[in-house]
Amino acid sequence: MTDLYAVMGNPIQHSKSPQIHTQFAAQTSQDMLYRAMLVPLAGFENAVHDFFKVGANSEVGKGLNITVPFKEQAFEVADTLTIRAQTAQAVNTLILQEDGSILGDNTDGAGLVGDLVANHKVPLQGRRILVIGAGGAVRGILQPFLHEQPESITVVNRTFKKAQALADNFSEFGNISACEFAQLNAPFDVIINGTSASLSGELPPIPSSVIAAHTVVYDMMYGQELTPFLQWSQKNGAAKVLDGLGMLVGQAAVSFELWRNAQPDSQAVLLKMRQQLNL
Ligand code: ATR
């Protein structure tokens, strides 16, 4: 029997997860397969249960990655949840447990923290961090970020109420507050863009005073060119601008470790992907 893993989403054809996990498996000599599975919009729960059913075939479903638009449904399907999945209220990793139950985790935040701290040598401890956006992507990273014990996290969002709700929700994990764009007037050490503004080529309405010569700026998105936000940050003198490809590979690495108890070389895979994608 070969252990089977997959990423479920809709659409799924552009997913890079099969490529990433297949390289991880080769690096660490794991006997496993990883597929992309297109799941009908109304069929997620059945697809998950079918995947984990022990059948007569030669493959046995052991773990899943979950992507758009099913991360909230995966949160509901899981029998138990890690703390970071509970706080994210979304699940990107399902793990079949020995007793047949399904554990839900969210490795997005750990992937981003790992990319910053391990790959780019940007420590978060004691730093002043600005997080832009208050949607699902930001909810997924706040607990792992606060776990690194930054001096403070400030959440700013177009709709202030949503930033305030997140700050209230996460205050038990560390020093976090909300503010309006117009209130920003001092530099931060690290700035994370977690809005979807880059998708439409837009910039969040942010003053250049948030950037100092030592500021590191990260956009969770990536593409052929620097996102408008990273271009703007570079123009305003940021020390480093980083795109979200490392977060993608990083979240995959954390999922892989959870499933296989083996540590892949995510830097090597990231490098190869940058060459292939010409990024
Ligand atoms: P995701 O799950 O990717 O986080 P989401 O939950 O729809 O998606 O959240 C999108 C985030 O991007 C929100 O914080 C949104 O701000 P609002 O809460 O005010 O809607 C933010 N966003 C999207 N487009 C933006 C833009 N052009 N400028 C600033 N913020 C933007």
> Is residue 58 very low, low, confident or very high in pLDDT (cuts 50, 70, 90)?
confident
pLDDT at 279 over 80: no
Residue that has been written with the tokens 């447990």 in this structure: 97
CA atoms within 13 A on the CB side of 63: 25
**Of 145, 111, 154, which Cα lies nearest the Cα of 264?**
111
* Ligand 1 near 22 CB (within 6 A): no
The domain spans of the chain are 2-106+249-277, 109-243
> Is residue 144 very low, low, confident or very high in pLDDT (cuts 50, 70, 90)?
very high
- The arrangement of secondary structure in 2-106+249-277, i.e. its CATH architecture, is 3-Layer(aba) Sandwich (3.40)
Query: Is there a shared CATH topology between the 2-106+249-277 domain and the 109-243 domain?
Result: yes
Q: Can you read off the two tokens belonging to residue 43? A: 């069929």
Q: What is the pLDDT of residues 112-130, one digit of tens each?
A: 999 999 999 999 999 999 9
* Ligand 1 near 197 CB (within 6 A): yes
Q: Can you read off the two tokens belonging to residue 5? A: 């893993």
Looking at the DSSP assignment, which residues form a beta bridge with residue 130?
154, 191
List all residues 6 or more positions away from 167 whose beta carbon is below 8 Å from its beta carbon: 155, 176, 177, 178
Q: How far apart are CA 66 and CA 260, in angstroms?
A: 17
Q: Which atom of ligand 1 is nearest to the CA of 159?
A: 19
Residue 62 is a catalytic residue = no
The fold adopted by the segment(s) 109-243 is: Rossmann fold (3.40.50)
**Residues found in the chain:** 279
List all residues 6 or more positions away from 165 whose beta carbon is below 8 Å from its beta carbon: 134
* Ligand 1 near 135 CB (within 6 A): yes
Q: Can you read off the two tokens belonging to residue 253? A: 């690495």
Q: What is the pLDDT of residues 71-127, one digit of tens each?
A: 999 999 999 999 999 999 999 999 999 999 999 999 999 999 999 999 999 999 999
Under DSSP, the state recorded for 197 is G
Q: How far is the CA of 201 from the centre of ligand 1 (A)?
A: 13
Q: How far is the CA of 99 from the centre of ligand 1 (A)?
A: 39
Q: How far is the CA of 88 from the centre of ligand 1 (A)?
A: 16
Q: How far is the CA of 133 from the centre of ligand 1 (A)?
A: 6
Q: What is the pLDDT of residues 10-49, one digit of tens each?
A: 999 999 999 999 999 999 999 999 999 999 999 999 999 9
Nearest CA to ligand 1 atom 26: 197
Nearest CA to ligand 1 atom 21: 195
Nearest CA to ligand 1 atom 18: 159
Q: Which atom of ligand 1 is nearest to the CA of 137?
A: 4
Active-site entry in 53, 62, 71, 235:
71
Mutate to test the pocket of ligand 1, among 131, 156, 157, 196 (most ligand atoms within 8 A of CB): 196
